[in-house]
Structure 1
C-alpha cells in the first residue's frame, strides 16, 4: 500500500509540478494562457505548451482522486494500513 502512495500519488504530484513550471528546470518557462477565469488550488489557469497542449492541473486532480481512493486503507483499528484497497469502490479488501 505504501508503495502505491509513494509511486502513484508522488509521481502524479511530481509530474504536476513539472508541467506547471513549479520545479526550477533550466530552459523551461511555461506561460499561462491569456484566458480569464476563476482560479483555485485545483483549477489553475491553463499553461500552453509548445506543441499546443493546454495543461490546467489535470495531474493534480488525478493525484487528489487517487489519494482519496486510498484513504480507506488507513482507517484501521490497529493503525496499520490494509495491504489492499478496492480503488473503484474505495473499500478495503480485508475489512476484518
Structure 2
C-alpha cells in the first residue's frame, strides 16, 4: 500500500494501479515504486541487482519525480472529489493521503 492508507489515499492508489498494467513489460528486473510520504508521492524506477545468492540490492535508474495532489475530480468535467486549500498547510501533522 506504500502509505496510501486514507480513503483518499486508496482512491489515488487505485488510480495509479489503473494507469500501470499488472504485468508490465519492464526489462532486466526493473520495478516502479510509488510511495506516499507526508502527502508527497514519490515516483522511482529501480533495477534489482543480485550481489550474491543471499543479498539483493536496488540500483536507481530514473526518471524520478515527486508529485503533490492538488485536486481530484470525477471524469474530465466531473464533480471535484477533493481539492487542496491553502489553509491545509497550517497543520503540519495532518496528512490527507
TM-score normalised according to structure 2 size: 0.27
Structure (1/2) with the larger strand percentage: 2
TM-score normalised according to structure 1 size: 0.27
Structure (1/2) with the larger helix percentage: 1
